[in-house]
Chains A and B, each alone.
Chain A
Amino acid sequence: MNKQQQPIAATYLLLVLYCVIVSLGPLLFLFTTAVSTADPLTGEVIRYDLSNFEEVFYDSYYAVQIGYTLGLVAGITVVTLGLAVPLTLTIARLKNRARSAWVVMLLASLALSEVLTAFAWQLLLSQSSGIPGWLSYSGIISGDKAWWPSFPAMFVVLVYFSLPIAMILLLPAIRRLDPSLNESAYTMGFSKTSVFFLVVLPSLRGPIFQTGILTFLLNIGGFVISQQLGKPSDWMFAVFIADFMRTFNVPFAVALSFCLLIAVLLCLAVAQLIFGRKPIEAS
């Protein structure tokens, strides 16, 4: 190995060590936990088998819950991207000072924790001091019921929580987008709407896909907002995992999280197949 190759080899070694320590090691440890069964009295592991996984698939309940969670998170991702792309395009076109103000505001909202966000929205949607109360007081709506817990409340807050992250991720890519791409399409006679769908969106395909993946992954493990603003029937899969953790059935909770992980990996593979490939004309 020559002197030039040494730093490259060291980099790869560091990468392997990082993967083992941060990903593979804990994953292996968790898998060992998932296939273990402990004595309820002593807490000692009495056997290793797949009984926890068998229990997950004993009936379709958990599969349905996983499907619901994946669908919900996919929906949140789509709505978030649907809002983030035009909003970020608008912010990117602003003058420096206004754009900086927006970036500071987005970063500030990122600093809020999920718990704080959930509580703030609980207040906003509450009957006594929130939006429903004000609207009822001003006679715009009748009744004085709080708007949470409900599916729409949970969905809106999850989108609200994801939106600044998505916008911050998209902003550099949108800022780099050559404005003459749009202008050249205008000179070809295309309308602003056509240019958005035929030029802007396809040109941003990579960043949008990456932001979508990150938004999806960020939400799949979230449970605070879901539990605080949704009804039990609306809860996401992570709430179940957390519940089993709290009741000390850790091996079963880990088995559930493994099933969720596999489902997420399958979803990502499908997304990569559909959206990830680069279109190349092959005439």
Chain B
Amino acid sequence: MSQVFDGTSLSDVAVELDGHAILRGINLEFAPGSFTSLLGPSGCGKTTLLRVLAGLQQPSWGTVHRGTKDITHSPPADRDCGMVFQTLALFPHLSVIENVMFPLRRLKLPEASMRERALELLRMMHIEEVAPQPIDKISGGQAQRVAIARALAQGPHMLLLDEPFSALDAELRDELRTEIRVIQKQLGISIVMVTHDQEEAFTVSDQVVVMHGGAVEQVDSAVALLTSPATQFVAKFVGRRNELSCYLESGCLYQADTNKLVARDVDISASHSSDQYKVYFAADAVVSSGELEAEVLFHRDIGDFPQICARCSGTTVWINNLWPDAQETIQFGLDMSKAFIFTDTPCE
């Protein structure tokens, strides 16, 4: 007997606004207690998807279920979701503690227990000392924590975060995303976070949903996305890989513009056969022996892996610096075990 999924699921969800398809055929499952990141470039529909989950956006097609219950047309009030907006949406006329107490007012709890619950949440977020402060007198990081505390006040089964850390500096962002992961583990709630920061998505998530053009490209763990990209877009977007246009001839892959050999004995299945291919490779896939040529633009010698920014047949590529003294042109090859080949289809 198959087990009933008791998390939140989207089946064939589409959203159309003013004749434009914002979301197309979304099928996703969010398991209870899981941390999911919606990752993708700006305008790919991440926030709309989050709004569909919150009940703030009605899908044009498809259904939303929590367990077996159809909540497609349920108002936000019946979704049992806490949400942290990109703008935080803290009420400017209320103090910090009043903001956190606000969701509890609907439950008509005694004032003392509401205050106690709010203080408990502020303590959990390490900002108890700012409880009486007006909302416009606290720092950006504190405001972020208040927004998270307020979203958790009702004890929601799902927390939705819309680019919650985008306005913070790198150090604070790192600190907060670690904290939110710890809190998620403590409370056992599921979290769905919208982000365009790959590092953020990969460090905290159980599963990452890569989106592009209103559709889901791949749903997987961070490791799987990096090692087995399912589509051309994921191969390029995840890990910010370099791209080369190639063609296949007699089992060898050649660079399209220069006819230079990229790889020998390439095995491409019949289902992927095409005239044009794209090869995606990270900076560390570059080897010093090979026929490919690139014009050195500049060296970047920060961090553990010094890199070269170069122009290879009109395309900018970032490659590990195996030629510390190179100033003009370099010749290189690719370690094909670290590269991905896809049929060339238009990819905006």
A and B bind: yes
Q: A residues 171-185 with Cβ under 8 Å of B?
A: 178, 180-181, 183-185
Can you list, as one digit per residue, whether each of B95-106 has a CB less than 8 Å from chain A (1) or not (0)?
Answer: 111100011011
Asked if B154 is at the interface of the complex by the 8 Å CB criterion, the answer is yes
Of the candidate stretches A24-32, A86-94, A252-260, A275-283, the one touching chain B is: A275-283
In the assembled complex, the Cα of A215 lies from the Cα of B203 at a distance in Å of 56
Q: B residues 187-220 with Cβ under 8 Å of A?
A: none
Asked if A17 is at the interface of the complex by the 8 Å CB criterion, the answer is no
Residue in chain B with minimal CB distance to A202: B93
In the assembled complex, the Cα of A191 lies from the Cα of B79 at a distance in Å of 14
Chain B residue contacts of A280, Cβ below 8 A: 95, 132, 134
Q: B residues 119-174 with Cβ under 8 Å of A?
A: 131-132, 134, 154
In the assembled complex, the Cα of A155 lies from the Cα of B92 at a distance in Å of 35
User: Does B77 contact A191, Cβ atoms closer than 8 Å?
Assistant: yes
Contact of B89 among A183, A191, A205, A282 (CB under 8 A): A183
User: Does B85 contact A189, Cβ atoms closer than 8 Å?
Assistant: no
User: Does B89 contact A190, Cβ atoms closer than 8 Å?
Assistant: no
User: Does A186 contact B56, Cβ atoms closer than 8 Å?
Assistant: yes
Residue in chain B with minimal CB distance to A182: B89
User: Does A281 contact B97, Cβ atoms closer than 8 Å?
Assistant: yes
Task: Using C-beta atoms within 8 Å of the partner chain, give the interface range for chain A.
Answer: 20 to 34
Chain B residue contacts of A198, Cβ below 8 A: 102, 105
Q: Closest approach, in angstroms, between the C-beta of A97 and any C-beta of chain B?
A: 13
Chain A residue contacts of B132, Cβ below 8 A: 280-283
Task: Using C-beta atoms within 8 Å of the partner chain, give the interface range for chain B.
Answer: 20 to 34
Q: Closest approach, in angstroms, between the C-beta of A193 and any C-beta of chain B?
A: 13
User: Does A187 contact B91, Cβ atoms closer than 8 Å?
Assistant: no
In the assembled complex, the Cα of A199 lies from the Cα of B92 at a distance in Å of 9
Chain B residue contacts of A283, Cβ below 8 A: 97, 115, 131-132
Asked if A273 is at the interface of the complex by the 8 Å CB criterion, the answer is no
In the assembled complex, the Cα of A199 lies from the Cα of B97 at a distance in Å of 16
User: Does A187 contact B115, Cβ atoms closer than 8 Å?
Assistant: no
In the assembled complex, the Cα of A148 lies from the Cα of B115 at a distance in Å of 56
Can you list, as one digit per residue, whether each of A152-188 has a CB less than 8 Å from chain B (1) or not (0)?
Answer: 0000000000000000000000000010110111111
Asked if A203 is at the interface of the complex by the 8 Å CB criterion, the answer is yes
Most-contacted residue by chain B among A183, A198, A199, A205 (CB, 10 A): A183
In the assembled complex, the Cα of A278 lies from the Cα of B86 at a distance in Å of 26
User: Does B85 contact A183, Cβ atoms closer than 8 Å?
Assistant: yes
Asked, given contacts A183-B56, A199-B91, A282-B132, whether A189 binds B97 with beta carbons under 8 Å apart, the answer is no
Chain B residue contacts of A279, Cβ below 8 A: 93-94
Chain A residue contacts of B154, Cβ below 8 A: 188-189
Chain A residue contacts of B239, Cβ below 8 A: none
Contact of A281 among B76, B78, B95 (CB under 8 A): B95
Contact of B85 among A184, A191, A205, A282 (CB under 8 A): A184
Which 4 A/B pairs are nearest by Cβ-Cβ distance? A281-B95, A189-B77, A184-B89, A188-B103
